Amino acid sequence: MKRKFVAVEEDSLDNHGVAWWRGPLLGKGGSGSVYLAYLKKPKSRNAFYRRVMAVKSAEFSSSSSLQKEKEVFNHLHDCPYILECYGEETTVSKNGQMVYNLLLEYASGGTLADLIRRSGGCGLPESDVKKYTRFILKGIDYIHSHNYVHRDLKPENVLLVPCGSGDFVPKIADFGLAKKVQNTKRRMFDSSIAGTILYMAPETLVHNVQESGSDIWALGCIVYEMFTGKPLWGLNPDESTEELCKRIADRLELPDVPSGISKDGSDFLKGCLVKNHKFRFSVEMLLNHPFVSGIDDTGNELCDRSCCEE
Ligand code: ADP
Ligand code: MG
């Protein structure tokens, strides 16, 4: 299930692009290392690149996942809740190492996982949870309407991009495991399940089914984590991965809904975390759910008419 890549060697920091310099490391995952990147001539107009970007890189021979990610980005390039990809480039360092690079929008706010971690196990205020949830949901809606399933939604793959006045907009990133949805009604047996177990849906673990509903399950896990500051399936001490999978898949082991949240919040969460995917809420149902339906595109709560009519 894990992606494998050969890290770009440290001395390959001399491995720059034609128009950009490679800067310090921002993060590492299963398919690449991500660095800051700066335009060499910041004042010159570059039609494709931005002055500051992120560059996700892997040694060319093990960059198939990254190249696949670029292919997905080609279809998902017009949504404010999805990270932008500016292009791809192959670079060669002085020692001859060939590197494949994806040039990406730089998320200076870090990841949603960092933000949750900074809450020190308390979780985010409900007004922020609502706002982030609506935007992530709109990103998921866009992905699904372009016939893809993300398959690796988790707080580490949601990046925060500043949107003025100290606020951040969450953007879905890391499409290395995304797959095209089968258009045929007959479900194909798909042996290649992917993702991170803590965010994996029961039907994925039991029947290898990874469709749009599995992204909704993962959204439920993310919302839970934003509310509580902790992952939904906390690993019990001494629990093996197999036992954890059994717990997630077990129909009788229901996820606990956090106390102290609004009824709308708890209904929304329960709708995402229905164990049987056939009865799980759809994206459309969730977008119309009162927990998020009253948020506009700037993240503000829409005015409740009754208060204006007085
Ligand atoms: P992987 O496919 O290897 O998991 P990701 O795309 O998730 O790679 O990137 C790994 C980590 O690098 C992220 O969790 C994040 O910490 C950091 N990162 C990735 N892209 C960006 C970006 N555009 N801006 C800032 N940090 C990023
Ligand atoms: Mg990742």
List the domain range (segments joined by +) for residue 251.
110-300
- DSSP code of residue 226: H
Residue 310 has pLDDT above 50, yes or no: no
Residue nearest to atom 12 of ligand 1 (CA): 27
Please, which residues bridge with residue 245 across strands?
none
Q: Which atom of ligand 1 is nearest to the CA of 65?
A: 2
User: CB–CB of 156/113 below 8 Å?
Assistant: yes
β-pairing, 179-180 with 168-172?
unpaired
Which residues are known catalytic residues?
152
- DSSP code of residue 114: H
Find out whether the beta carbon of 195 lies less than 6 Å from any atom of ligand 1: no
Quick one: tokens of 81? 């809740």
State in Å: Cα 61 to ligand 2 middle: 20
Residue 290 has pLDDT above 90, yes or no: yes
Tell me what pLDDT residue 265 has.
98
Express as a percent the part of the chain with pLDDT over 90.
71
Residue 87 has pLDDT above 90, yes or no: yes
Query: Residue 124 belongs to a domain with what CATH number?
Result: 1.10.510.10
Residue 31 has pLDDT above 60, yes or no: yes
Q: pLDDT-based confidence at 3, cuts 50/70/90?
A: low
State in Å: Cα 33 to ligand 2 middle: 10
User: CB–CB of 247/253 below 8 Å?
Assistant: yes
Residue 183 has pLDDT above 80, yes or no: no
Which tens digit of pLDDT belongs to each residue from 232-259?
A: 998 778 889 899 999 999 988 888 889 8
270 among annotated binding-site residues: no
Ligand in closest contact with the CA of 32: 1
Counting ligand 1 atoms within 8 A of each CB, the residue from 2, 33, 34, 105 with the most, and so the one to mutate, is: 34
CA atoms of 112 and 147, how far apart (whole Å): 25
Q: pLDDT-based confidence at 308, cuts 50/70/90?
A: very low
Residue 286 has pLDDT above 90, yes or no: yes
User: CB–CB of 158/169 below 8 Å?
Assistant: no
Q: Is 11 part of any domain?
A: no
CA angle 154, 155, 158 (to 5 degrees): 95
Residue 305 has pLDDT above 50, yes or no: no
Q: pLDDT-based confidence at 11, cuts 50/70/90?
A: very low
CA atoms of 310 and 304, how far apart (whole Å): 11
User: CB–CB of 271/293 below 8 Å?
Assistant: no
Find out whether the beta carbon of 159 lies less than 6 Å from any atom of ligand 1: yes
Which tens digit of pLDDT belongs to each residue from 89-141?
A: 999 987 888 999 999 999 999 999 999 999 999 999 999 999 999 999 999 99
User: CB–CB of 216/270 below 8 Å?
Assistant: no
Find out whether the beta carbon of 133 lies less than 6 Å from any atom of ligand 1: no
Shortest CA distance to 211 belongs to which of 197, 196, 194? Answer: 194
Please compute the mean of the pLDDT values over residues 72-81 and round it to a whole number.
96
Q: Is the dihedral of CA 249, 253, 256, 257 positive or negative?
A: positive
Nearest 10 degrees: CA dihedral of 253, 207, 275, 215?
130
- Residue 102 belongs to what H/E stretch? strand 98-105
Find out whether the beta carbon of 157 lies less than 6 Å from any atom of ligand 1: yes
Question: Per-residue b/e over 201-227, b at no fewer than 16 CB within 10 Å?
Answer: bbbbbeeebbbbbbbbbbbbbbbbbbb
State in Å: Cα 122 to ligand 2 middle: 24
Q: Is 53 part of any domain?
A: yes
**Residues 203, 246 within the same domain:** yes
Query: Residue 30 belongs to a domain with what CATH number?
Result: 3.30.200.20
Which tens digit of pLDDT belongs to each residue from 147-177?
A: 999 999 999 999 999 998 889 999 999 999 9
Which tens digit of pLDDT belongs to each residue from 40-59?
A: 988 877 788 999 999 999 99
Q: pLDDT-based confidence at 307, cuts 50/70/90?
A: very low
Distances in Å between the Cα of 7 and the Cα atoms of 10, 32, 100 are 8, 7, 11
Q: Which atom of ligand 1 is nearest to the CA of 5?
A: 3
Q: Is 310 part of any domain?
A: no
**Residues 120, 219 within the same domain:** yes
Count of the separate structural domains present in the chain: 2
**Residues 274, 216 within the same domain:** yes
Return the axis-axis angle of helices 212-228 and 126-145, rounded to nearest 10°: 170
Which tens digit of pLDDT belongs to each residue from 63-72?
A: 999 999 999 9
**Residues 40, 188 within the same domain:** no
Please, which residues bridge with residue 98 across strands?
92
Tell me what pLDDT residue 136 has.
98
**Residues 195, 137 within the same domain:** yes
**Residues 160, 205 within the same domain:** yes
**pTM (two decimals):** 0.91
Please, which residues bridge with residue 101 across strands?
57, 89
Query: What residue type is assigned to position 195 of the chain?
Result: G
**Residues 196, 144 within the same domain:** yes
Find out whether the beta carbon of 34 lies less than 6 Å from any atom of ligand 1: yes
**Residues 139, 236 within the same domain:** yes
Q: Is 8 part of any domain?
A: no
**Residues 262, 130 within the same domain:** yes
**Residues 87, 166 within the same domain:** no
Find out whether the beta carbon of 299 lies less than 6 Å from any atom of ligand 1: no
Residue 189 has pLDDT above 90, yes or no: no
CA atoms of 42 and 197, how far apart (whole Å): 42
Q: Is 15 part of any domain?
A: no
Q: Is 82 part of any domain?
A: yes
**Residues 154, 207 within the same domain:** yes
Distances in Å between the Cα of 114 and the Cα atoms of 100, 119, 197, 235, 275 are 27, 9, 19, 19, 28
Last residue of a domain, one of 105, 129, 147: 105
State in Å: Cα 199 to ligand 1 middle: 17
**Residues 231, 258 within the same domain:** yes
